[in-house]
Structure 1
Amino acid sequence: MKTQASAPVYKGFRFPVEIISHCIWLYFRFSLSFRDIEELMGQRGIVLTYETIRQWCLKFGQTYANELKRRRPKTGDKWHLDEVYLKINGKTHSLWRAVNQEGDVLDILVQSRRNKHAAKKFFRKLLKGLQYVPRVIITDKLASYAAAKKEILSSVEHRQHKGLNNRAERSHQPTRQRERTMRRFKSPGQAQRFLSAFGPILDHFRPKRHRLTARDYRALMQDRFQMWNEVIGGKVAA
């Protein structure tokens, strides 16, 4: 048995890594509130508060998500980009999202604007995080994409057609579901923090099941839980 050297630091926490990581997995994988998870853990005889779970998710959620992103295979050379409106404290914000041709979330950015400057900022964030240039980007007909693309990704093919971008539009559905569970986001910063961790963790545990046989699906999920154990620093088979 071994513990991964790159694991997050759990020193000073009263509960073991198995409980901390399990609560974080429940929160980001399923549409559960912190109080729901507090009740589930209580049923197992583990007494903790919803505020403790919230602090664990804030401290370790993004760390887990970043490590999962680092370990996943190359994300593909076709980017689908789309944006939706978020109502936060009575003000309208835009959630910019990019997914690859498999529907896996590449990155997100919550911004107050939906113009050329906002599109350029999102392109720069994608390029910095992924560190490669796509072969083609697919967007709807928002003019901001084309204007920003000329300056940031001038050599990349750009396809603009609403019907081509269903993959990106469908990727917003889990966000809408969680937004309802959370009774809307409380601030742009909270939305950015949650969704940055939520996307990679959810994608990791939701492979395209309709493309797999039952045997292949079980084997893939076993591999993904193994990777999760390595990421969280839990005990894995040597």
Structure 2
Amino acid sequence: MSKADNPFRYFHSSPEIIRMVVMLYVRYPLSLRNVEDLLFERGYDLCHETVRLWWNRFGPMFAADIRRQRVSRMKGFRQWRWHLDEMYVKLNGEMVYLWRAVDHEGEVLESYVTKKRDKSAALVFMKKALKRHGKAETIVTDGLKSYPAAMRDLGNEDRREMARWLNNRVENSHLPFRRRERAMLRFRQMKSLQKFASVHASIHNHFNSERHLIDRETYKARRSAALAEWQILAA
């Protein structure tokens, strides 16, 4: 990478510190000041506003890099089943909807924020997911009528499945975001919610090793590989 293309060229701190700050803030349920204190204990004197600046500046960049690599790898695999769901998020005292698509392995495919959960919102959300990830053999949804209406327009209503407990995969995938949301004391703008939801999904996917399904040695190897890949993002 040339000096002109280096995204860290205007910053005095090393790229390693910037990556660590972004990872701590987005991945874990920590506030800006929590991250500041943790870094101070390790000998790095940063203001919490610097943490805010870095995650806003580099978070989307790292997430896009992760998403690009993972999408290119996943295109060679069979898209077996998607799980779609929407969750309430409080925004300045009002409820908005965060639509999320998760595959059969728990990989968060798409996140999209809207003020309504009608057919048009579902249609835009599903088009975004289909454009990026291709078609799935089966799409699992809950009983919201917006899903079959949107899928009817897309011509894939025959792929829809709905049954009790069948959508637990995506329901459980909401939990990491909920924990992170509480630590941030909610959101104030739809733009910031959309940005954080997308960045959080990509970073969560990157470090999610399905620890409960594998043995300790395999988990350690996957964790080391994920961390090594993280340390060369935007390099």
- Which of the numbers 9, 25, 50 marks the counterpart of 2:23? 25
Give the corresponding residue for 1:129.
132
Deviations 1:98-140 (A, max 9, x none): 000001100111100011011001011112222x111110000
- Which of the numbers 150, 168, 171 marks the counterpart of 2:170? 168
Give the corresponding residue for 2:7.
9
Give the corresponding residue for 1:222.
224
RMSD: 1.8
Give the corresponding residue for 2:180.
178
Deviations 1:161-181 (A, max 9, x none): 242100011111111111111
Is the contact between residue 82 and residue 168 of structure 1 (CA under 8 Å) also seen in structure 2?
yes
Q: Give the Cα separation in 1 of the matches to 2:10 and 2:233.
A: 19
Greater RCO, CA 8 A, separation 6+ = 1
Q: Percent same amino acid among aligned pairs?
A: 37
Residue 111 (structure 1) aligned with residue 114 (structure 2): yes
- 1:183, distance to aligned residue in structure 2 (A): 1.0
Matching of residues 27-176 of structure 1 within 5 Å: 27-72=25-70, 73-74=73-74, 76-130=79-133, 132-154=134-156, 157-176=159-178
- 1:58, distance to aligned residue in structure 2 (A): 0.7
Runs of 5+ in structure 2 lacking a partner?
none
- 1:230, distance to aligned residue in structure 2 (A): 2.4
Q: Return the letter of the residue paired with 2:228.
A: Q
Q: Give the Cα separation in 1 of the matches to 2:125 and 2:156.
A: 15
Q: Give the Cα separation in 1 of the matches to 2:138 and 2:155.
A: 10
Q: Return the letter of the residue paired with 1:181.
A: A
Is the contact between residue 100 and residue 106 of structure 1 (CA under 8 Å) also seen in structure 2?
yes
Q: Give the Cα separation in 1 of the matches to 2:224 and 2:6.
A: 22
How many residues matched?
A: 229
Q: TM-score, normalised by structure 1?
A: 0.90
Q: Give the Cα separation in 1 of the matches to 2:116 and 2:33.
A: 34
CA shift in 2, pair 1:118/1:14, >3 Å: same
Q: Give the Cα separation in 2 of the matches to 1:209 and 1:4.
A: 38
Runs of 5+ in structure 1 lacking a partner?
234-238
Q: Give the Cα separation in 1 of the matches to 2:200 and 2:228.
A: 19
CA shift in 2, pair 1:142/1:232, >3 Å: same
Is the contact between residue 8 and residue 63 of structure 1 (CA under 8 Å) also seen in structure 2?
no
Q: Return the letter of the residue paired with 1:191.
A: L
Q: Give the Cα separation in 2 of the matches to 1:39 and 1:83.
A: 35
Q: TM-score, normalised by structure 2?
A: 0.92
Give the corresponding residue for 1:192.
194
Q: Return the letter of the residue paired with 1:169.
A: E
CA shift in 2, pair 1:48/1:153, >3 Å: farther
Q: Give the Cα separation in 1 of the matches to 2:232 and 2:42.
A: 24
Is the contact between residue 97 and residue 117 of structure 2 (CA under 8 Å) also seen in structure 1?
yes
Q: Give the Cα separation in 2 of the matches to 1:230 and 1:53.
A: 20
